[in-house]
Homo-oligomer: A and B are copies of this chain.
Amino acid sequence: MSENALLETHDVRVRYHDTHDALRNINLTFCPGEVTALIGPSGCGKSTFLRCLNLMNREIPHCHIDGEIDYHGQNINTKKQNLYDVRRNIGMVFQSPNPFRKSIYDNIAFAPRQHGIKDRARLDEIVEQSLRRAALWDEVKDVLNKSAYALSGGQRQRLCIARTLAMNPEVVLMDEPCSALDPISTHAIEETIGAIKAEGICVIIVTHNIEQAARISDKTAFFLLGDCIEWNTTEVIFNNPHDQRTKDYLTGRFG
């Protein structure tokens, strides 16, 4: 167990509909200020794993999560655990940018309001800070009251990141955040990831783009058909993978 581990999984296993084993024996550790990339071919369970970490899988009725997920050393995969606390501290950004049909301001202020912050000045501050952290403030500061759907795809995705940052999370999970975006937006998002990592946030990102994983991550985990085949520093994974299947995948033999 790593000394400064923020989030750790022990033998996590996920089944859908009792029969189907979507994930098996996943043991990974994530630390603050570190970007971990999860890679692997389609359907290997990357998203499933990501959704375990903030208990989003609980929303799927027929999904069973076994094993331990330790957050700050405490298992959160128990019935007693307050979901909402977990989710506020472990934010999530989805594949397709999905802002609410509200104004830009309200998109960000929504969750803080729901969590009891009513003071307008305080909300203004949270909105500004979050947008700055997502590197979106300069682009939208004059149109905060416009609909979020007036933004471009890349901007929407950064808005979603800002929305998550407004909760002040310690971990941010991202499920293929750039797959629907153009190169320039992708670049902007990657910069944002760099910035929040520098703030000490732990980022876990699923990506299909191997080059992106190489560019931005410190650690990389390779998944295949529900197993985590290899997990190591990105350096090692890309230059000197221990497993033949990892090598095959990275050289484009499949996927």
Q: Please report A residues at the B interface, Cβ cutoff 8 Å.
A: 41-43, 179-180, 182-184, 186-187, 209-212, 214-215, 225, 248, 251-255
Contacts of A42 in B (CB 8 A): 179-180, 182
Contacts of A225 in B (CB 8 A): 182
By the criterion CB–CB under 8 Å, are B252 and A209 in contact? yes
The 9 closest A-B pairs by CB, nearest first: A211-B252, A183-B254, A186-B254, A41-B183, A209-B252, A183-B255, A183-B253, A211-B251, A212-B252
Docked Cα-Cα span, A169 to B94, in Å, equals: 42
In angstroms, how far is the closest chain B Cβ from the Cβ of A190?
10
CA distance A225 to B184 in the complex (A): 12
Q: Chain B contacts of A209 at CB under 8 A?
A: 252, 255
Additional 15 contacts, C-beta under 8 A, given A183-B248, A211-B251: A41-B183, A42-B179, A42-B180, A43-B182, A182-B225, A182-B254, A183-B253, A183-B255, A186-B254, A186-B255, A209-B252, A209-B255, A211-B252, A211-B253, A212-B252
